[in-house]
Each structure stands twice: as C-alpha cells, then as structure tokens.
C-alpha cells in the first residue's frame, strides 16, 4: 500500500532525484517515514492487555483508562478469533469494556502477549493536514540521506556532531509541526 502522508513524487521532487531510483526504493522510504509519524499521532486506540469471556459476553482490558462509551462500536484486533471484529460495547469500567459474543466456551482472564488493539472512530484525517505531510516529508528526506551516506551525521542535543542521523533527534526536528496532534501516551521515554 503506497504511503499517503508523503507521496513518491513529492519525495523525488524534494530530493531532486527524478527517475534515478526505482519506485520500490523511494516508496519504501515514504512508507517508513509515514510509519514513524503515524506511531506518534493521536488515534482513538488502546492496547488490550488481557481478555476473558463467558458463553455470551467478552471483556477486554486496556493498558490505560479508555474513553469509550456504552453503545459505541469499536474494532478489536489481535485478541483471538472470538474477540476480534467490529463490536458494540455493552458495559465499561475505567480499563475494560464488554460486548456480546456467541461462543460455546467460557475463558478465564488471560494476558495477551503481544498486546491486542481496540480502536474507535477517529474524527480527523491526518492525510489532509499540511503540517503532518511536511513533517513526514522532512523525515523521509532524512531517511533517504541516511541511506545514501550513513555517516552524514546529525547534531545531538548538546550540539556535537553525531554520525547517526536516525537517532533521538529525528522526531525532535519535526515535533513543532506535529505538536497539536501528538498522542499523550506516545510521549513517554
């Protein structure tokens, strides 16, 4: 699936590379930059750390308090076949939500490793925001340049040259563009 926060044509133009490199190589850099930015944006999603079920009700547990409400439809992924899918919430607590299921066996509470995901509707289209597109383009350019000359370097927080461009300052250079859209849970570390 082609990247949509920054297009191959935009990156080719910014780098001035024309048709010098294959589409697959350029698109891979676009997708990598998009993945980096998407991981920091605020979506209406939560990690599912455990689940349990009766013969008619499934309950999933989130890693932090969620904002879902009874009656809302959410999508559950990577939690097991009987838990996954589009589900309408019937009950909630601060860190769990329950919904109807049709299965023949009850299951005690089990931890999920790796975590599953539950998400609701997001009412913002990040693809249409210029600041998100520009931040993604800037990261794509840095990734491209790091691939071409890995010792091209960056500047570390103490202003000393760094031989590695993809370090902790990669996102710091675009954080101002993304500030209004960063996920609060993604700022730890």
Whether 1 maps to a domain, the answer reads: no
Is 189 within a domain?
A: no
φ, ψ (nearest 5 deg) of residue 143 = -60, -45
Q: Please count the structural domains in the chain.
A: 2
Last residue of a domain, one of 98, 119, 140: 119
The CATH number linked to 84 is 2.40.30.20
- Cβ within 8 Å of residue 95, ≥6 positions away: 61, 62, 63, 64, 65, 66
| Residue tagged 């859209």 (tokens) | 181
pTM, 2 dp: 0.70
Q: Which residues of the chain have pLDDT under 50?
A: 1, 188-189
Q: Do residue 115 and residue 49 come from a single domain?
A: yes
> How high is the pLDDT of residue 3?
63
**pLDDT given at position 186:** 60
Tell whether 113 is covered by a domain. yes
* pLDDT at 146 (0 to 100): 82
Same domain, 110 and 50: yes
Q: Which two tokens stand for residue 120?
A: 């609701």
Tokens of 40: 């920091």
| Residue 27, domain member (yes or no) | yes
Enclosing domain of residue 71: 45-119
Q: Looking at the domain assignment, is residue 102 inside a domain? A: yes
Asked whether residue 113 falls in the same domain as residue 140, the answer is: no
21-67: per-residue pLDDT in tens? 999 999 999 999 999 998 888 888 899 999 999 999 999 999 999 99
Q: What is the pLDDT of residue 57?
A: 94
Is residue 96 domain-shared with residue 148, that is, in the same domain? Answer: no
Verify that 115 and 146 share a domain, yes or no: no
- In this structure, the answer to whether residues 22 and 81 fall within a common structural domain is no
Distance CA 156, CA 167 (A): 8
Q: Are residues 130 and 174 in the same domain?
A: yes
Among 80, 101, 119, residue at a domain's last position: 119
**Beta strands 154-155 and 161-162: pairing type?**
antiparallel
| Of 68, 94, 119, the domain-final residue | 119
Same-domain pairing of 49 and 38: no
Same domain, 83 and 173: no
Look at residue 20 and tell me if it is in a domain.
yes
Do 101 and 159 fall into the same domain? no
């Amino acid at each position: 699936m082609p990247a949509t926060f920054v297009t191959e044509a935009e990156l080719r133009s910014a780098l001035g590379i024309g048709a010098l490199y294959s589409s697959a190589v350029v698109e891979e850099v676009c997708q990598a930059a998009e993945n980096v930015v998407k991981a920091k944006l605020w979506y209406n999603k939560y990690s599912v750390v455990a689940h349990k079920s009766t013969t008619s009700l499934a309950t999933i547990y989130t890693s932090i308090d969620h904002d879902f409400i009874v009656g809302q439809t959410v999508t559950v992924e990577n939690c097991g076949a009987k838990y996954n899918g589009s589900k309408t919430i019937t009950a909630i607590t601060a860190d769990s939500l329950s919904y109807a299921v049709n299965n023949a066996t009850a299951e005690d509470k089990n931890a999920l490793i790796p975590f599953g995901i539950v998400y609701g509707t997001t009412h913002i289209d990040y693809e249409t925001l210029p600041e998100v597109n520009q931040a993604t383009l800037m990261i794509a350019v840095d990734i491209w340049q790091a691939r071409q000359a890995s010792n091209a370097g960056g500047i570390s927080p103490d202003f000393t040259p760094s031989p590695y461009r993809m370090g902790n300052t990669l996102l710091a250079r675009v954080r101002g563009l993304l500030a209004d859209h960063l996920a609060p849970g993604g700022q730890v570390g």
